[in-house]
Amino acid sequence: MSKSDKDIESVPDTTQPALEDEDAMIAALEDDKSAPFTAFREQRIQQLHEEHARAKQLISEGYGQYPELKEEKALMDLITKSELIVVHFSKADFSRCGEMDIHLEALASRHYGTRFAKIYVENSPFLVMKMCIKVLPCILCWKNGKNVDRIVGFEGLGDTPDSFTTDDLEQRLMSSGIIRRNKLEGFNNTGENMQSHDNE
């Protein structure tokens, strides 16, 4: 027997039979009252509580929704007041705009840090002309009142409404910084707990 084998044999076996079971191990960790673990656990609980409270506040301010704005002035006010906003310039009788609405509504309920809205082009003649909107659907994104991104039609998304997913649009908007990866998921637009969309 080599010296290292003897050293290994001399180490006492401190494993407890109850900890071999995964559930028992988790329960033991939850019952662990050691200072570093308890401090970390309390800090994480506090962080989750703050994120939940912020999500509820944003929902009460209209985030997490995808409203249709009727007036151009309301849109301009929203653009100037919002840090991050995604606006879909749409037309009611254009089916491709309806397809884009489905994806944007899903994203609005996932990303509370960004406002989402739509307006029909006939209700926004000034911005349509100023922003040179000629192809629909058209999505414009503003950050602190400055236009930072534009999606014309389905460019960069698969070119047709049938060939792209909500996740494709989400990645596209994340790449421009207009939406951020969620720290807190699992709340619907009323602030109630729900299963995370990653688990669907």
Q: What is the DSSP annotation of 29-69?
A: HHH---HHHHHHHHHHHHHHHHHHHHHHHHHHTTTT--PEE
pLDDT band at 1 (very low <50, low <70, confident <90, very high): low
The span from the CA of 177 to the CA of 134, in Å, is 25
pLDDT at 199: 38
pLDDT at 149: 96
- 169 has pLDDT over 80: yes
- 6 has pLDDT over 70: no
Tokens found for residue 185: 């998921």
pLDDT at 18: 43
Q: 190 or 199: whose pLDDT is higher?
A: 190
Q: Contact, 108 vs 80, CB < 8 A?
A: no
pLDDT tens sequence across 53-72: 888 888 888 889 999 999 99
pLDDT tens sequence across 108-122: 999 989 999 999 999
Q: What residues does each domain of the chain span?
A: 20-59, 63-181
For the question of whether the overall pTM of this predicted structure is more than 0.85, the answer is no
pLDDT tens sequence across 81-96: 999 999 999 999 999 9
Q: Work out the percent of the chain whose per-residue pLDDT is above 90.
A: 50
The span from the CA of 179 to the CA of 173, in Å, is 6
Tokens found for residue 59: 């929902």
Distance, first Cα to last Cα, the chain? 55
The span from the CA of 112 to the CA of 16, in Å, is 46
Q: What is the CATH number of domain 63-181?
A: 3.40.30.10
pLDDT tens sequence across 173-198: 999 999 987 644 444 444 454 444 44
Q: 40 or 199: whose pLDDT is higher?
A: 40
